[in-house]
Structure 1
Amino acid sequence: MAAMTTAENPRDLIQSLERGFAVLLAFDADRPNPTLAELATATNLSRPAVRRILLTLQHLGYVHGDGGRWRLTPRVLSIGQHYSASHGMIEIAQPHLLRLAEKTGESASLAALDGAEVVYIARVPVRRIMSINVSIGTRVPAHATSMGRALLAWADQSEVDTVIAAGLTAHTPGTVTDPDEFRKILRTVREDGFSIVSEELEEGLVSAAAPVRDHTGKVVAALASSTSIGRSSVDAVRTEVAPLVVRTAEAISADYGHRRASKKASSVIVKPHDGFF
């Protein structure tokens, strides 16, 4: 279950709602049709508690029980639909993602930061280049991805600390796991205006990402283009793809209401806050 922030009072939280989401999130690729006992083990909740939650979710139409096993219903998808409907940026970004994918011949993605992970919120797939099946809602570690670094480079210190505290897990031999080196990389990303990550999440995977801003100038998402070492190189991604990603991210930001301070200054290069890192 999610940890509370210091600003939260335990008396203000509804534990039954937290437990309900824990049960919903326990359904995944490894447990598409779990039993009550399997859900209880996965959530560390008692079987009677999980039973009541499942019956409530079934009453609401989000799960269905059959022969002792449970499955999610299509109604669960409406939760994500409500997110998309309430975030105009996704609709704004879609044509830009399509154009970027057409220009590069590679997949284009938009993601947002959620704790120590980034979540895909929009995507135009061209080729499957990752071993995991990437779709809307897929979560990947922020520290080992170009999107995560493009988000963290302009994030508050506390958000960077959260990622480091969660552990800079090595996913390949090339994953950066040293906190000091990681912070140095984020400073470089901020100076460059974009991030390039090569073979840190998966061997053979290389991607470039740039920040997307709202009307206040706050970084709210990251745009990325991904390819494989077999089809390109880090140098080619840096010289050919990264500029396209930056310009596309700026175009999305502009359509979302962001205006550059001047024509000479890029919207993705901002003076660091005092005390940043």
Structure 2
Amino acid sequence: MTEAYRSHPRDFVASLEKGLKVLLCFDRKHARLSLSEVARLTGYTPAAARRLLMTLEELDYLHSDGRRFWVAPRALLLARPYLTSRAAPQVAQPILDKLADRTRQSASLGVLLDNEVLIIARSTGRRTLSTGLGIGSRLPVFCSALGRAMLSRLSAEEALDHLAAAPMDPWTPKTVDNLASAVESVERCRRQGWGECDEELELGVRSIAIPISNASDRTIAALSLSVRAERMTMDAFRLTHLSAIEEARDELIRSKATFD
């Protein structure tokens, strides 16, 4: 609940919030959901979940086979206003394209959203990864390189609050699975200036991310590069590509793009 809502509760449309929450249930791990699964993920009653699902299907934001629901192409219209009206994604895209082309790897730009990282720009190099990430993808803040980079520029107390609130579900057998280890990963990033993820999100994928700050030294985003693990060790990854990531970061800072 935001401060604006506390001040003007009559202006808050709870049904709109609920409908959007249903749409946001769908992701890579939950591509097709039943009514009971949506109710569990949202915390709504089955009756409420059913009404919301049926409404979204009628509006053509969801499709269904009578048992499961999935997101329809019309849902892309919800992202279009941000992508077309804000300069940041348009400014960032050529910079990410240049980084991906130079390194022949995949580059992503993310922002902190609640207790997740939201990808707002992405470019894949010629050695394309199979992670299925794209603009609008969400990553866990506790075990992603982007998340660690963003949290490393917060105070230790703020970072701990984000980590404590994030569900630490394992993504791979190598995923950090406890709060103490997650805190240490963020502190390591704070000390060295970049965050790492070594096969914690997807087996066979390594990532490095660095935070991006504005003129007021407020961290506004993070930039990452990902490689296939069989192509290079993490040490070789740092040695080969960290300087290119830093140069792209500096170019984004000079662009004075805002990502809020």
The amino acid of 1:202's aligned partner reads E
- Aligned equivalent of 2:235: 235
Q: CA deviation at 1:175?
A: 3.2
Q: Distance in 1 between matches of 2:235 and 2:36?
A: 51
The amino acid of 1:117's aligned partner reads E
Q: Secondary structure at the match of 1:144?
A: coil
Q: What is the TM-score normalised by the length of structure 2?
A: 0.80
Q: CA deviation at 1:24?
A: 2.0
Q: Is the 8 A contact 2:83 2:89 kept in 1?
A: yes
Describe the shift of the 1:31–1:219 C-alpha distance in structure 2 as closer, same or farther (beyond 3 A): closer
Q: CA deviation at 1:203?
A: 2.8
Q: Which stretch of structure 1 is more off in the superposition, 166-175 or 72-81?
A: 166-175
Kindly report which structure 2 residues correspond to 1:161-180, keeping only aligned pairs within 5 A, or say none. 161-180=161-180
- Aligned equivalent of 1:245: 245
Kindly report which structure 2 residues correspond to 1:52-201, keeping only aligned pairs within 5 A, or say none. 52-54=51-53, 56-57=55-56, 60-63=59-62, 72-126=71-125, 127-130=127-130, 132-156=131-155, 157-201=157-201
Q: Secondary structure at the match of 1:53?
A: helix
- Aligned equivalent of 1:226: 226
Q: What is the TM-score normalised by the length of structure 1?
A: 0.76
Deviations for 1:62-90, whole angstroms, at most 9, x for unmatched residues?
34667677554433112111222343221
The amino acid of 2:83's aligned partner reads S
Q: Distance in 2 between matches of 1:189 and 1:116?
A: 18
Q: CA deviation at 1:93?
A: 0.9
Q: Distance in 1 between matches of 2:146 and 2:36?
A: 37
- Aligned equivalent of 1:213: 213
Deviations for 1:216-273, whole angstroms, at most 9, x for unmatched residues?
3321111111002211111111112111101111111111269xxxxxxxxxxxxxxx
- Aligned equivalent of 1:16: 15
Describe the shift of the 1:240–1:167 C-alpha distance in structure 2 as closer, same or farther (beyond 3 A): same
Q: Is the 8 A contact 2:26 2:32 kept in 1?
A: yes
Q: CA deviation at 1:45?
A: 3.5
What is the percentage of aligned positions where both structures have the same residue? 33
- Aligned equivalent of 1:262: none
Q: Secondary structure at the match of 2:15?
A: helix
Describe the shift of the 1:155–1:100 C-alpha distance in structure 2 as closer, same or farther (beyond 3 A): same
- Aligned equivalent of 1:268: none
Q: CA deviation at 1:117?
A: 1.8
Q: Which stretch of structure 1 is more off in the superposition, 181-190 or 12-21?
A: 181-190
The amino acid of 1:136's aligned partner reads I
The amino acid of 2:182's aligned partner reads F
Q: Is the 8 A contact 1:63 1:72 kept in 2?
A: yes
Q: CA deviation at 1:39?
A: 4.5
Q: Distance in 2 between matches of 1:16 and 1:188?
A: 42
Describe the shift of the 1:213–1:36 C-alpha distance in structure 2 as closer, same or farther (beyond 3 A): same
Rg larger for: 1
Aligned residue-pair number: 254
